[in-house]
Amino acid sequence: MLEIHNLNARVEGVDILRNLSLSIKPGEVHAIMGPNGAGKSTLGNVLSGRPGYEVTSGEVLFNGKNLLELEIEERAREGLFLAFQYPVEIPGVTNMEFLKASVDARRKHLGMPDLSSFDFMKLARETSKKVSLDPAFLKRGVNEGFSGGEKKRNEIMQMMLLEPSLCILDETDSGLDIDALQVVAAGVNSMRDGKRSFIVVTHYQRLLDYIVPDFVHVLAAGRIVKTGGKDLALELEAKGYAWLDDEGA
Amino acid sequence: MTEQVESMIRKDYSAGFHTNIESDTLKPGLDEDVVRFISAKKEEPEWMLEWRLKAFRAWQEMEEPTWAHVHYPTINFQALSYYSAPKSMADKPKSLAEVDPELLDMYAKLGIPLHEQEALAGVAVDAVIDSVSVVTTYRAKLEEAGVIFCPISEAIKRFPELVRKYLGTVVPQKDNFYAALNSAVFSDGSFVYIPKGTRCPMELSTYFRINEMNTGQFERTLIVADEGSYVSYLEGCTAPMRDENQLHAAVVELVALDDAQIKYSTVQNWYPGDKEGKGGIYNFVTKRGICHRNARISWTQVETGSAITWKYPSCILKGDNSVGEFYSVALTNNFQQADTGTKMIHIGKNTRSTIVAKGISAGRSQSAYRGLVRINAGAEGARNYTQCDSLLIGDRCGAHTFPYIESKNSSAQIEHEATTSKVSDDQLFLCQQRGLDAEKAVSMIVNGFCREVFKELPMEFAVEAGKLLEVSLEGSVG
């Protein structure tokens, strides 16, 4: 469902991703780990089309389409979802209004009719409970005055409502206490249906205790330097990243 | 008679002011004869003419103000025509097919029904049955309640004592350059009187007066809410109106007697000029209300039109415990300029005022908030809260804030908050990553920014205002 071939990308003139290749099949969960500055977040930003991230060469196929030719919103409507590391606030725009507009856009793209306001509200309330957010949050401004943990749960709620085919979680675990982490992980696990794929970007092995990956990739200096199963994460936790340099050398 | 002779006679008539009502438009220029001509045309009583002449004489002594943060070529007031007869049916477009397609496109985007489009575009149609019955129904309802709602020219003749008692009491003839000009040559406008203890049974809208809407460039409105009464008045329309007059100088006066409440909502969407900044209406308006004891006046305005806006709806809080409110959204795009805000003059004890002003600038536009909060010595316990937020879209526009605070009473509490923000790339990216296109995203962010003001508008107006912002911002992204 996602094929990345020799992707090179730069930010502000600095090469960050170097000949990165990765193949993800439907239903798989891929964890991306690696030291600070390895390009982990860049990957999610490049795939979602964030301005400022320039692709210099390479190819990305998403469900058979040339992803890099699509506009940001087209990628989203095709089913690519990025859960932000630092979700921004949009004051005065209610969560409900924002979510309804997003879901409508996705459904329209899929040729489905708009949900009625009533049906949507019902769905949104049910979903908010799944991530332990009080439905009152739906009436508040998008992320406005939310705590760090509430923002992350709000991201997962959006993901559940939009039902993407590829979910990219960019350090969703950062700043979360253990309870919030479990809520987020449970949300993600409930969406694993054998078809939907995930890229989980994280610093810490801890998250992967709850969201068990099929593959763990180690990203260093913009390339994948090692790939393994879920045990690789444990090994990294125990040894750090330095040993990989020795191995690679 | 040859055509030439005929036209010469007509010219003489217009210069000599003996012409009959049906005909003409005055030649450009302004002198006492023009004022007399207008007054005669409207068959006004002597006192009204004197009132106008007093204004005209004052105006001649006055200078055009230049303190506002707006720039435009000098207006030659002698080059304007101050009276034009209503257009005959023959001059109007016969159908929507003859109307500027861009205007129609705008109507469609705003979702305006077809028969309203015809009225707005000035199409010569016989009154639509629907609207006739609506008008009849509302007239009957208002009469039953004792409410007077009619053109001010009619009120001068039918209710001279009421008009005479209040006209110019809030905005005197000599108040400012444009108010003096308006007082001398005003064409028409609305008059509203709500009797004691009466709650006006419906929202009064100039829309009901759609056939009389072509009141020209110098509109005059007077609203009097007698003791303990309530009225909500809606001015304007989200749809852009066809209008050939470039200079507009309206005056609105509100009088809220003891315990009365007036809610005045405006949506202004006059032609802002094209994308290069050519054309567009100059809008120099004086709006002011006076609150007697326990009275309340709320101004709510959404301004998206005009090339230049110069407008400060104000409240004189004369009576003890009276309340003044100003909620405003001013959006400028392309080359528009707006200098707008309010004045809250606290005279009575325990008077309160709230100001929430939101300015949105896009394109190369310039938007300024100018506000005065004055607490007089006798205004014990007066309170003001001012919140002034500016939102910038792009990096070629500007937002400016000029708050003036004068307090002569140490018991007063005055709060002022101001913010300037930009629609951030991160906000846009979040919206787009969730599947919204950039224009939809910007309009959503802007609507969120305006929420506090929109919630003060009557429900229907609020929905329209949201749509209007969306249309006005088209092309401001990317």
Q: What is the ipTM of this complex?
A: 0.94
Q: Which tokens hold the place of B401?
A: 């804030």
- Residues B240 and B201: beta-carbon distance below 8 Å: no
Dig out the tokens for B242 from the structure. 């066809």
A-interface mutation test, from B431, B440, B445, B453, most A Cβ less than 10 A away: B431
Which amino acid, residue B178?
Y
- CB–CB of B431 and A90 under 8 A? yes
Note whether A88 contacts B424, CB cutoff 8 Å: yes
Is B436 within 8 Å of A101 when comparing Cβ atoms? yes
Contact between chains at A92 and B434 (C-beta distance less than 8 A): no
pLDDT higher at B120 or B23: B120
| A76 contacts B435? CB cut-off 8 A | yes
A102 chain-B contacts, CB cut-off 8 A:
434-436
Q: Can you tell me the distance from the alpha carbon of A15 to that of A8, in angstroms, rounded to the nearest whole number?
A: 7
Q: Which of A54-58, A137-141, B8-12, B206-210 has the lowest mean pLDDT?
A: B8-12
In a mutagenesis test of the B interface, which of A90, A97, A108, A162 is the best target, namely the one with the most B β-carbons within 10 Å? A90
Max mean pLDDT range (B183-192, B208-217, B468-477): B183-192
| For chain A, percent of residues with pLDDT exceeding 70 | 98
B435: closest chain A residue by CA? A73
- Determine contact: B478 vs chain A, CB below 8 A: no
For residue B232, give every residue at least 6 positions away whose Cβ sits within 8 Å of its Cβ, in sequence order, or none.
B200, B203, B204, B262, B263, B264, B265, B458
B448 contact residues in A (CB cutoff 8 A)? 90-94, 141-142
Q: Nearest residue of A to residue B423 by CA position?
A: A90
- Nearest C-alpha in A relative to B453: A92
Task: Assess B427–A contact: CB distance below 8 Å, yes or no.
Answer: yes
Buried b (16+ CB within 10 A) or exposed e, B314-348: bbbbbbbbbbbbbbbbbbbbbbbbbbbbbbbbbbb
pLDDT in the model for residue B212: 40
Please check whether residue A98 touches B, CB under 8 A: yes
The amino acid that residue B163 corresponds to is: V
Q: What is the pLDDT of residue B207?
A: 52
| The two structure tokens encoding residue B43 | 């068959």
Mean pLDDT across chain B, nearest whole number?
Answer: 82
Are B69 and B368 contacting, i.e. CB atoms less than 8 angstroms apart? yes
- Asked if the C-beta of B471 comes within 8 angstroms of chain A's C-beta atoms, the answer is no
pLDDT value for B121: 59
- Residue B273's contacts (CB-CB under 8 Å, 6 or more residues apart) are B279, B280, B307, B334, B335, B336
Short-list B439, B450, B472, CA closest to B239:
B472
Strands A141-142 and A90-94: antiparallel
Torsion of CA B465, B469, B472, B473, to 10 degrees: -170
Compute the C-alpha angle B192/B196/B197, nearest 5°: 115
Q: What is the pLDDT of residue B366?
A: 87
> DSSP strand E in B108-250: where?
148-151, 190-194, 204-205, 220-225, 230-236, 247-248
Lowest pLDDT segment from A180-184, B297-301, B374-378: A180-184
Predicted confidence at residue B255, as pLDDT, reads 98
Q: Reply yes or no on whether the pLDDT at A245 is more than 80.
A: no
Question: Which chain B residues touch A67 with a CB distance below 8 Å?
Answer: none
Report the residue of chain B nearest A49, measured CA to CA: B433
Q: Convert the pLDDT of each residue in A159-178 to its tens digit.
A: 999 999 999 999 988 888 88
Distance CA A106, CA A138 (A): 19
* Min Cα separation B425/chain A (Å): 8
Mean pLDDT of B180-192: 91
| pLDDT for res A248 | 46
Residue B387 identity (one-letter amino acid): Q
Query: Does B444 sit within 8 Å of A98, measured CB to CB?
Result: yes
Check: CB of residue B83 under 8 Å from CB of residue B41: yes
CA distance A242 to chain B (A): 34
Residues A90, B451: C-beta atoms closer than 8 Å: no
Question: Chain B within 8 Å of A158 (Cβ-Cβ)?
Answer: yes
For residue B184, pLDDT over 90 is answered with yes
Whole-number Å distance between alpha carbons of A107 and A109: 5
Residue B448 at interface with chain A, using a CB cutoff of 8 Å: yes
- Give the pLDDT score at B69: 83
Q: Which of B426, B440, B449 sits opposite A88 (nearest CB)?
A: B426
Per the CB < 8 Å rule, is B430 touching A87? yes
For B435, the closest of A49, A73, A88 (CB atoms) is: A73
What is the distance between the terminal CA atoms of chain B, rounded to a whole angstrom?
62
Distance (Å) from the C-alpha of residue B274 to the closest C-alpha of chain A? 30
β-bridge mates for residue B392, sequence order: B361, B422
| CA pair distance B30, A135, nearest whole angstrom | 64
**Contact yes or no for A146/A91 (Cβ under 8 A):** no
Q: Which residues of B touch A95 (CB under 8 A)?
A: none
Ranked by mean pLDDT, which of B148-157, B169-178, B271-280 comes out on top? B169-178
Which of helix, strand or coil describes residue A224?
strand
| Paired tokens of B123 | 């199409």
CB contact under 8 A, B435 and A106: yes
Q: Which two tokens stand for residue B97?
A: 């097919």
Radius of gyration of chain B from Cα atoms?
23
Give the three-state DSSP class for B337. strand
CB atoms within 10 A of CB B299: 26
Name the band, by pLDDT with cuts 50, 70 and 90, for residue A20: very high
Strand partners, B254: B223, B289
User: For residue A177, what pLDDT is reported?
Assistant: 87
Which residues on B lie below 8 Å from A105 (Cβ)?
Answer: 434-436
Most A CBs within 10 A among B433, B447, B470, hence the mutation to make, goes to: B433
Who among B425, B438, B451 is closest to A92 (CB)?
A: B451
pTM summary value: 0.80
Name the residue in chain A with its Cα closest to that of B443.
A93
* Range with lowest mean pLDDT among A44-58, A180-194, B134-148, B383-397: B134-148
pLDDT above 80: residue B317:
yes
Q: Is B409 on the interface with A (CB under 8 A)?
A: no
Q: Which pairs with CB-CB distance under 8 Å and at least 24 residues apart come from A185-193?
A: A185/A210, A185/A211, A186/A210, A187/A130, A187/A131, A187/A153, A187/A156, A187/A157, A187/A159, A187/A160, A188/A156, A188/A159, A190/A130, A190/A160, A191/A159, A191/A160, A191/A163, A191/A167, A192/A27, A192/A29, A193/A27
Q: How far is A161 from chain B (nearest CA, A)?
A: 11
Q: Go through A183-210 and write b for each residue having 16 or more CB atoms within 10 A of its CB, e for each that does not.
A: bbbbbbeeebeeebbbbbbbeebebbeb
Q: Which residues of B touch A97 (CB under 8 A)?
A: 444
Rounded CA gap, B309 and B69, in Å?
10
Render pLDDT for A107-127 as a digit per residue (tens, 0 to 9): 999 999 999 999 999 999 999
pLDDT at B361 over 80: yes
Is the confidence at residue B178, as pLDDT, over 90? yes
Nearest to B297 by CA among B328, B266, B265, B256: B256
Residue A100 near chain B (CB below 8 Å) = no
Q: What percentage of residues in chain B have a pLDDT greater than 90?
A: 44
What is the token pair recorded at B357? 């002003």
Which of A12, A46, A82, A98 best probes binding to B when mutated, by most B CB atoms within 10 angstroms?
A98
Return the residue of A nearest to B440 by Cα. Answer: A101
The single-letter code of the amino acid at B249 is A
CA distance B435 to chain A (A): 4
With contacts defined as CB-CB under 8 Å, which chain A residues touch B437? Answer: 71, 73
- A77 to chain B, minimum CA–CA distance in Å? 5
Instruction: Judge whether residue B206 has pLDDT over 80.
Output: no
Report the C-alpha gap between B240 and B360 in whole angstroms: 19
- Please check whether residue B144 touches A, CB under 8 A: no
Q: Chain A within 8 Å of B440 (Cβ-Cβ)?
A: yes
Q: Which residue has the higher pLDDT, A190 or B274?
A: A190
Q: Residue B434: list chain A partners with CB under 8 A.
A: 76, 98, 101-102, 105, 158, 162
Give the strands of the sheet with A197-201, arranged side by side: A80-83, A166-170, A197-201, A29-33, A215-220, A223-228
Which residue type occupies A149?
A: G
Q: Give A-chain residues touching B440 at CB under 8 angstroms.
A: 101
Residue A228, chain B, CB below 8 Å: the answer is no
Point out the least confidently predicted range of A35-39, A124-128, B14-18.
B14-18
Nearest to A93 among B429, B438, B445 (CB): B445
